[in-house]
Amino acid sequence: MTELWALPATRIAAMVRAGTVSATEVAKAGLARLDAVNPKINAVVECRPEETLAAAAAVDKALAEGRDPGPLAGVPVTIKVNVDQKGYATTNGLKSQKDLIAQSNNPVVESLLSAGAVSLGRTNTPAFSYRWFCNNLLHGATRNPRRRDLTPGGSSGGAGAATAAGIGAIGHGTDIAGSIRYPAYACGIHGLRPTLGRVAAYNASGKDRTIGGQVMAVSGPLARTVDDLRLALTAMARPDPRDSWWMPVPLSGPALPRRAAVCVAPDGMEPAPELADALRAASERLRDAGWQVDELDALPPIREAVGVQLTLWFGDDYAGQVAAAEREGDPGAIAALAGQREFALSLGMPEFSAALSRRLGIAREWGLFMERYPVVLLPPGTELPFADDLDLREYARVWAAQASMIGLPVTGLPSLILNTGLTPEGVPVAVQIVAGRFREDIALAAAEAIEARQPPTPIAEP
């Protein structure tokens, strides 16, 4: 019999609602799994078992009284330390924020908990959530549960490692340049970056974000099955007036042609052979499911979008970002900013304004392209998951490999990382799936068709 902690969220919620198992039993199993594997990977950096069990008991009480606890009834989840959760420090991996206790829940946290989810704990992120690696001076390093020599990804590295290792069925993550998608890729699970405006988010504990963060940063789920991504998105996409970017758009849209474009080397990016093979295999599985899949030599701009992304990020008070990193003293954050110094110092208001304007044009080009191809398949990057802390040794190489992660947020479109298995050496491989604006349902449908035709990837055993 499959252990409770290993079950997908959809099955857990169904069993809890049917009374086959209690939310308390699920929570105890989740906490036991956390105790067994988290010391090896340090994915969850704060856990309060008494609060977890109290939340599970509340779900059981609601069901006993005939009330609906929500679509995530009793589902164990984890929450990233860079979002407000009432009573917890919103550390964002920083010593300077270890006592920044949230007085209210971020909307995405409120959405998960009000849907009946039970939090197992808070997951790690690199300092300032800057990197595709996951360590900081406050919480320490998170390890990849598949292979300790590989990064677990970042910035939602704790969420990726926890979910891959069976600590929770759903992990909350955030993504401005790959921070949901890369940990999903590196840890051998799935991750969904929703459309800008789909999932409401707001941290009352800090200042409002600058424009780059406002138009590119989103919250979304990581999970071991595509159906769990869908369930998590349903819970997360709840309205909240505190986020003025949130849009009241249905989760399902009108029927579209089952037509997809696949591009192995967009903008001349040459992926590792394993990634090219994974992309072609995923294309064949999609064809087997009845989709028309056309292999193209080019897509709308990605490399140019990377320049826009970096301009909007580093062109807004770069000096202040550097000063904050130096005060924190975090080597990874300092290196991340130093690697962009020459580019950042070349930026002024004309370049910043031009980037904002060009963002609109790039988004338009992608939007028009998606009218012809409702789904696009492309590589997650050009390299297999990096050796841990590679950016401290080969910063330029890391950034060059990540163009398809960095550029897509400029478009505002949803993008999904679908794990497609492991190499013989146990290294995860994946494909990236893009859909039209607010058409996460189409990306999920394509991902589900591929997933159904490939062997499942086992839960990681650190």
pLDDT at residue 2, as a whole number: 86
In angstroms, rounded to a whole number, what is the distance separating the alpha carbons of residues 270 and 461?
32
- Residue 259 tokens read as 């037509």
Q: Looking at 350-403, which runs of residues are DSSP E strands?
A: 375-378
Q: Give dist(CA 206, CA 193) in Å, integer.
A: 23
Q: Which residues of the chain have pLDDT under 50?
A: none
The answer to whether residue 151 is domain-embedded is yes
Q: How far apart are CA 216 and CA 410, in angstroms?
A: 6
- pTM for the whole thing? 0.98
- Round to whole Å and give the CA distance between 389 and 395: 9
3-state SS class at 15:
helix
460 occurs within a structural domain: no
* Residues 225-258: b if buried by 16+ CB within 10 A, e if exposed: bbbbbbbbbebbbbebeebeebeeeeeebeebeb
Cis status of the peptide bond prior to 155, with omega within 30 of 0 = yes
Active site residue 98: no
Closest by CA to 263, choosing from 397, 177, 376, is 376
Instruction: Look at residue 270 and tell me if it is in a domain.
Output: yes
Catalytic-residue membership of 353: no
- Cβ–Cβ < 8 Å for 405, 178: yes
Identify whether 105 is part of a domain.
yes
Is 345 part of any domain? Answer: yes
Q: What is the pLDDT of residue 354?
A: 98
457 in any annotated domain: no
The single residue of 111, 129, 155, 283 carrying the catalytic annotation is: 155
Report if residue 458 sits inside a domain: no
374: in domain: yes
Between CA 5 and CA 8 the distance in angstroms is: 8
Within 8 A by CB and 6+ apart from 140, the residues are 42, 45, 124
Per-residue confidence (pLDDT) for residue 343, from 0 to 100: 96
| Domain enclosing residue 189, as ranges | 4-451
107-126 pLDDT per residue, tens = 999 999 999 999 999 999 99
Phi-psi region of 129 (alpha: psi -120 to 50; beta: other; left: phi over 0): left
Q: Which of 22, 129, 156, 179 is catalytic?
A: 179
d(CA 213, CA 321): 13
Residue 360 corresponds to which amino acid?
A: L
Number of compact structural domains in the chain: 1
- The single-letter code of the amino acid at 370 is M
Note if 179 is an active site residue.
yes
Residue tagged active-site, from 22, 80, 156, 404: 80
Torsion of CA 246, 122, 173, 129, to 10 degrees: 100
Q: How far apart are CA 446 and CA 237, in angstroms?
A: 20
Q: Please tell me the predicted confidence (pLDDT) of residue 277.
A: 98
Find, among 222, 233, 197, the residue nearest to 71 by Cα: 233
CA distance 123 to 90: 11
Q: Among 142, 146, 158, 164, which residue's Cα sits nearest to residue 223? A: 164
Quick check: 416 and 408 in contact, CB under 8 A? no
Strands, E, within 158-217: which ranges?
A: 170-175, 190-193
The alpha carbon of 296 is separated from its chain's Cα centroid by a whole number of angstroms, namely: 27
In the numeric block, the tokens 């969850």 are attached to 44
Residues in the chain: 462
CATH of the domain at 63: 3.90.1300.10
Q: What is the DSSP letter of 301?
A: -
